[in-house]
Structure 1
Amino acid sequence: MENKLKLIRTKNGLSQEALAEKSGVSVRTIQRLEAGNDGSIDTMNLLASALNVSLTDLFITKDPDQEFKVAGAQTQLDYQLATRRQEFKGYNIAFIGCWIGIMFLWGIGLQLLPNDILVDVFGALWFVGWILMFPIKQLLITNYINPKLDQKYPLTKLHLDKNKRKRHS
């Protein structure tokens, strides 16, 4: 099946080496694909993601069977992205809910402290806790949630908007 990889790559101003680094696909594989050899749908998906185009945009085909195969792969990617975004949203809501609950209990606990110095110290720490909420959330996303979701939904790994809800225009 013919592809438009070289055309799209050069239009984006990328060398084969830059595309290889961005996509995680070897330079040799990119060279073979641009020379007209067939590649797996998974490889083409990685390249499409790195080029910020849909999988179907990479192919020139007149064969209905091949079109069906590519459309099926695009459907699978779309499904994984939608499912991943929904799961990410759940993690986000759970984190914020737990953080607010903990901070609420901490605030109530301040009223139970026996002296004003402890109230001042733990009150200042309570305030700092609110400031640290978003950096801690980002740390969890980067080090725990994204690697877990990348493994569970491998087709979405290179998508820059993999955790954001798709906006309809």
Structure 2
Amino acid sequence: MLVQKLRLQRGWSQQQLAQLCGLSVRTIQRIERGQPASMETLKALASVFEIEFSAISNEDNMATATAPELEEQHAFLQVRKLKGFYIHLTQYCLMIPLLCIINLLTNPSTLWFIWPALGWGIGLLVHAAAAFEVTPFLGAQWEKRQVEKRLGRPL
């Protein structure tokens, strides 16, 4: 999360950061998703951001994360979920009218585009419910109860 935060503070895209570090864009994406990075990669990032290596190498240590850092990580994850939903919604809004036009130009007597619109629409609604955390089941409270249960703590 620190890499993403530092990148956004400087207004760089993932591609720009990758070029500055001599890394691939996929590597930057993996690091920003929280996957581990090699020491050489972390050194390159620390050099580009002009910070101490120890500051960037301790980023993955969740045991030392403070409450504000955990809240920030949660906020980044929530924003990623919302971004994914909005991309999904944009794809739907572009593709369904295109399918409708193709349908009407090729076979106007049969409106087959309705079936992909309905199926994809249902998937989009499920994605929205997950992104906006409006599901009455399997939400944050359910997760908390399950964690407490597995840890043997009273509910």
Q: TM-score scaled by structure 2?
A: 0.37
* Structure ID, larger Rg: 1
* Higher normalized contact order (CA 8 Å, seq sep 6+, divided by chain length): 1
TM-score, L = length of structure 1:
0.34
